[in-house]
Amino acid sequence: MAKSKIVPLEKAMEKIIDGLTIMIPGFVNSGVPEALIKGMVDKDVKDIRIISNNTSIKGRGIGLLVHDRRIRHITCSHIGSNTETVEQVVAGELDVTFVPQGTLCERVRAGGAGIGGILTPTGLGTPIAEGKDIITVDGRQYLLEKPLRGDVALIHAWKADKMGNVVYHRTARNFNQIWATAADWVIVEAEEIVEVGELDPDLIMTPGALVDQIVDLGGVE
Amino acid sequence: MSETQNISGRDLIAYRTARFFEDGDLVNLGIGMPTKCLDFLPEGIDVWIDTENGAIGLAGPPAEDEWTDPDVVDAAGNVSKLRVGGCCFDSFTSFGYIRGGHVAATVLGAYEVDQEGNLANWMVPGKTAAGMGGAMDLVAGAKKVLIMTEHCDKKGNPKILKKCTLPLTAANEVDYIITELCVLHKTTAGLVLEELAPGVTKEEVISKTGAELIIPPEEIGSMI
């Protein structure tokens, strides 16, 4: 019988310490692991680096980490949805590296898939290409973009079984599926927990083998 | 038809841009003006809306009292609806579809666009720091890149230039520029003035454009 990976939120926070690089998925407010982020705030985690697509909105999700100035550096594609992040970045108080959204996905995929980078036409001829290797394949140019990984990934699931098999829901899936592959430790918060065997194996999006801990949100979306 | 003849300004830009779509096309519409194209789809043309955050088949925001799944959001993060036959996928897959040339057309705005097909629409140094989001991938990957823009900026300065001055979103990827005055086609020879808005002359377009334009010797077509 598969062992249950469900832990209380406080237990899941033990792995999250100051100075880590944390993978946080979500698109604006959709599919963001908000309970785990709240846990980080309550634990007073500081000086972190995050890899995320954006920073939610002011006062929510990743926005809480921005507001408290818990972040040393963000790698992301967009911060426009959070006015507070924009203010801090413009004032030079928060360090950000912008990566095109598709390139961000591919770099994280490379990080989780054990490959040394990806070749993409995205960003050729733009400031994104500065300092990067350009590689020609069959007469077409591509940028070499290197892998990204984190120490911990925080994942928001719609349903998870007790061994960590995960199904995401609609566009809340977004970056969750790839982010779960590219960290040394993977913590899932799940809106609903089901018994092992209840999820259709063909529909499982993140295998439980990749998941270390599950926090039960008890039906909270 | 008489109603159509009266279309002008942003409506005209959307009306004309929507006429680049073919029935069944997968299209990605940027936030803001590009979504207006859906109000002007020609009869018999049905397009599938790609949203880079992971869906095909978005159907726009719900009506005021209509229930919709809060886990379906558009590329601005706003709650949207999925039409019957629509589907969802992860972001990595989404950008594979985009870069892989599976999106027939991407429609975006511009800060600047130039005669080499370069586009600048993500950054004004010292002023905006929002990030490029998915724009660089969309412009590099979509089959057709359609730029909807007012011909000049708010101060009346040309937005269509010989060479962009702002940091680029993509180099040499733009196919068409649609403004309230005209349609410009980026060809290997340069930027061709292909259509004019009703009542607009080629002289007016030339005077309001910072780029060198190729003016065909034959009569120039109408945007309507």
ipTM above 0.90, yes or no: yes
Would you place residue B127 in the very low, low, confident or very high pLDDT band (cuts 50, 70, 90)? confident
Query: How close A1 comes to chain B (CA, Å)?
Result: 30
pLDDT in tens, A47-69: 999 999 999 999 999 999 999 99
Helices within chain B (DSSP H only)? 2-5, 9-18, 91-99, 135-141, 202-207
Query: How close B15 comes to chain A (CA, Å)?
Result: 28
Instruction: Confirm whether B52 is a catalytic residue.
Output: yes
- In the 3-class helix/strand/coil scheme, how is B166-188 assigned residue by residue? CCCCECCCCCEEECCCEEEEEEC
**Helix, strand, coil % (nearest 5) of chain B?**
20, 30, 50
Mean pLDDT score, B103-129: 94
The verdict on a CB contact (< 8 Å) between A127 and B77 is no
Point out the residues of chain A with pLDDT beneath 70. 1, 221
Give the CATH superfamily of A9-115+148-219.
Glutaconate Coenzyme A-transferase (3.40.1080.10)
The verdict on a CB contact (< 8 Å) between B129 and A89 is yes
Look at residue B129 in the predicted model and tell me its pLDDT. Answer: 77
Amino acid, single-letter form, for residue A27: F
Residue among B79, B91, B127, B137 with most chain A CBs within 10 A, to mutate: B91
Look at residue A1 in the predicted model and tell me its pLDDT. Answer: 65
- pTM for the full model? 0.96
Residue A107 DSSP label: H
